[in-house]
Amino acid sequence: MKFSATSRSVQGSSASRRLRHAGRVPAIVYGGEATPQNIELDHNDIYHALRKEQFHSSILDLEIDGKGQQVLLRSVQWHAYKQQVLHVDFQRVAANQALTTKVPLHFINEESSPAVKLNAAIVSHIMTELEVSCLPKNLPQFIEVDLGQLIVGEPVHLSQIKLPVGVTYVAHGSDADPLLASAVIPDQTDEADEDGAGEAAAPEA
C-alpha cells in the first residue's frame, strides 16, 4: 500500500494539538541507519487506511516530501472515546534484514468440517494472529488456516498448518506449537432444564 506524508519540524504537545485541530496527525518514522523523522499525515487518509487489515500487516510504501521509503506500521494511539487517531509510529524496513511482526490468521472451511456438519459444534478461534519473522519480501498479508478436517476433540495446532516460504513462527516461552482452533459441542443441559421448567409451570398457568 502507498500513502504520503510531509515532514514536521515543530514538536511538542502544543504543536501536536494544533496539528490535530487542523485535521492532521503527528507521526514518526524510525529504524535503519537514518535518524528518526517526525512527520504528519492527513487524518482522514490514515483513519481509513487503518481500517484495512493489510495496512497492519504489509510492507508500506511511504512517500515523505516526494521521497519514498518502505516502512511497517508499529503502533497507533487512539483517542480514549472519539474515533480520532492521535499518533502513529512506523519502522523503516531494509530488504536484507529480517523483521518480526504479527500477521492475521484467516480461518476457512469451518462450516464444511465434520465438527460442524456432523456434530453442530461451535468452532473457537483460539488465536487470531501469529508473530512471525521473515525478510520483507516474504511477509504475507495473512496466514490461512484450513479447518475443513476439524473434528470435535482434535484441535488444530500450528504444527498442522504450513507456513509460507521463508516465514518462521516466533515462539514465546515453551509454547512452540500453540493451539489455533478447536470445536466443542454445545452443552444442552441448561436448555433441557429450561424446557422442563417451562413444561412444569404450564399446568399451573
Question: Which residues 6+ apart lie within 8 Å of 20 measured at CB?
Answer: 26, 43, 84, 86
Distance CA 127, CA 181 (A): 7
pLDDT in tens, 91-148: 999 999 999 999 999 999 999 999 999 999 999 999 999 999 999 999 999 999 999 9
**In this structure, are residues 71 and 139 in contact, taking their beta carbons and an 8 Å threshold?**
no
Q: In the chain, what is the straight-line distance between the N-terminal and C-terminal CA atoms, in Å? A: 65
Grid cell listed for 30:
524510525
3-state SS assignment for residue 79:
coil
What pTM did the predictor assign?
Answer: 0.82
Task: Give the strand order in the sheet containing 156-157.
Answer: 122-125, 179-184, 156-157
pLDDT in tens, 42-71: 999 999 999 999 999 999 999 998 899 999
